[in-house]
Amino acid sequence: MTADVFTVLAEPTRRRILDHLRLGERSVGDLVDTLGVSQPAVSKHLRVLRESGFVTCRTAAQQRIYRIDVRPLRAVDGWLDPYRQLWTRHLDALERHLDSQEQ
């Protein structure tokens, strides 16, 4: 896991693009319309996402169609797993404490 993955995800517009691509493939034009961001800005963010492996691209006639690639997200999920376990232990301890207070 490198900091580059987190740098990519730190940008709000890129996260919004990923949110839309999570629902299915989208063309650049669709993303421009949906996000209300200029075409050059969307293209710049898509280039960063493509170069970092978060999205793939195919050409259909005159359009570039983008889709999400989950592999980098799996790496982030794997990195977050120990923290989820930590929070689960803390929440379980809180639940036990609250249950003991009711008695």
* 53-99 pLDDT, tens digit each: 999 999 988 899 999 999 988 888 998 999 999 999 989 888 898 98
Tell me the residue range of the domain where 83 lies.
5-100
User: Average pLDDT of the chain?
Assistant: 91
* Degrees to nearest 5, angle at CA 32 with 26 and 38: 145
Q: Residue 32 is inside which H or E element, if any?
A: helix 28-35
pTM above 0.85, yes or no: no
Question: What is the domain-level CATH number for residue 86?
Answer: 1.10.10.10
Domain count, the chain: 1
Q: How far apart are CA 56 and CA 85, in angstroms?
A: 32
User: For 55-84, what is the HEC assignment?
Assistant: EEEEEECCEEEEEECCHHHHHHHHHHHHHH
